[in-house]
Amino acid sequence: MKNEKITSRDIDFAKWYTDVVNAAKLASYTSVKGCIAILPNGYAIWEKMQNELDKKFKELGHVNVQMPLLIPEGLFNKEKELVEGFAPEVAWVTIGGSKELEERLCIRPTSETVFCDFYKNYVKSYKDLPLLYNQWCNVLRWEKETRPFLRSREFLWQEGHTIHSTKEEAEKETKKMIEVYKWFHHEILAIPSIIGLKTEKEKFAGAEYTYTNEALMFNGVSLQCGTSHYFGQKFSKSYDIKFTNKNNKEEYAYQTSWGTATRMIGAVIMVHGDDKGLVLPPKIAPKQVVIIPIGNEEEIMKTCENISENLNKNGITTYIDLTEKSPGFKFAEAEVKGIPIRIEVGKRDLENDNITFVRRDTSEKITININEDLVEFTNNLLRKIQNDMYNKALRRRDELTFEAHNLNEVKKIMEKTPGFIKACWCGDEECEQKMKEIKGLKSRCIIENEKLIDEKCVVCGKQAKNLIVWGIQY
């Protein structure tokens, strides 16, 4: 494991990413093209993410359900924009139980259609509303280019699908859920992100509007990390979902959907990782502390056990590395897996009643007396690591966030390094298209609540309408 040759991040970022995924045993390729196996180290991170999000969803009144994996073609085709958006990338089941099917079934790329079909039969009156449903499941999109976690044909995600009796309530839900994703990134993943509206061109197929949560990776490439869509009555009209309102009149319902995925594991790798491997924020680290005995004297082993028991008992997840490898090998292994804190227990230290803490994020060594309150010390250190990781990521993002006032400036920035580019826009799709010609720049989102930095569009020079964050994307 030691130095299972991780390419340097600065030399080849794409190769570095794949090396980290392999060396940390997060995922593995499989015999199905474009589909990965999520291995224990990767899946345990996903479980931590799920726990945090699921708890928050439930606090906000959401409940979990499970809708079918398969969607009949006729049902799938009812909402035109959605079909156009997804049809090219779905997989079709045409044979079931040795027989050709009369109607083929697609594997869900997303489940708006299925929820609509359910709501159509289930919702009768405003008294039945709102329904705040979410599901944790797998979806499939027939991507051409794939990368572990970032873009794979099958992936795991959660998709919330809510239905309301008023426009106001549905819009409030849309906004609330994008704020949840922002909270999740900032507080749990230690990843600063920007939220804002997608442009017409970039919004979800079938949505009236889409909020997005955009993060910047270490190499300056953007990653869309969770979106929240307001559908208004578009789907309810296509799927005929009506309810009797308070005035005893029939009305089409108002809907939203929102989702985030195992892609977040990719974000954590690319924002926090370094040349030694993964670096996990303590809040999603399946194991927060590894204890490594230097030597195998009884006193050392006993001390390791006492520390482990004490920390575990107090809610800090800990394990002792008891394998027969050398300490140096064990250090490297814990580093590649991104474990936030390493505790070294050695003979010389113990003679002075000392043990050594090593931070994964900074490599800082801290020697402390074993008779101190280790639980308090560790908890404080975990909190500090979590905060420092956020701040470090924020500094990196700020370094890579630029302003541009004309196309020349945009080009100059992109020649040096990609990043977030703030620039004003007239609202015209043609100008978006022209930006795309510069290394594939796309509008990531429209920034609200911030002053325009120009009166004119960065492309055409006409009256600016929005301040946009532009970037290239995964």
Residue ranges in contact with its own copies by CB under 8 A: 28, 30-32, 35-40, 43-44, 46-47, 63-72, 75, 87-98, 104-105, 107, 114, 117-118, 121-122, 133, 137-138, 140, 142, 144, 154, 156
Beta bridge partners of 133: 63, 161
CB of 445 to its own copies, least distance (A): 28
Contact 279, 386 (CB under 8 A): no
CB atoms near residue 460 (< 10 Å): 15
The CA dihedral of 255, 64, 194, 406, to the nearest 10 degrees, is -50
CB of 135 to its own copies, least distance (A): 8
CB of 26 to its own copies, least distance (A): 11
CB of 69 to its own copies, least distance (A): 5
Identify the DSSP state of 60. Answer: T
Identify the DSSP state of 123. Answer: -
Q: For its own copies, which is the closer residue by CB, 135 or 443? A: 135
Q: For its own copies, which is the closer residue by CB, 143 or 251? A: 143
Q: For its own copies, which is the closer residue by CB, 81 or 171? A: 81
Q: For its own copies, which is the closer residue by CB, 138 or 463? A: 138
Q: Report d(CA 53, CA 51) in Å as an integer.
A: 6
CB of 36 to its own copies, least distance (A): 7
CB of 25 to its own copies, least distance (A): 9
Q: Report d(CA 293, CA 390) in Å as an integer.
A: 31
Q: For its own copies, which is the closer residue by CB, 138 or 387? A: 138
Please give the radius of gyration of the chain, using alpha carbons only, rounded to the nearest integer.
25
Q: For its own copies, which is the closer residue by CB, 205 or 460? A: 205
Q: For its own copies, which is the closer residue by CB, 23 or 215? A: 23
Encoding tokens for residue 151?
């873009």
**Burial of 172 from C-beta contacts in 10 A (0-12 / 13-18 / 19+):** middle
CB of 311 to its own copies, least distance (A): 18
Q: For its own copies, which is the closer residue by CB, 14 or 63? A: 63
Total length of the chain: 474
**Burial of 120 from C-beta contacts in 10 A (0-12 / 13-18 / 19+):** middle
Distances in Å between the Cα of 309 and the Cα atoms of 283, 303, 304 are 20, 10, 9
Half-sphere exposure of 457 (CA within 13 A, CB side): 16
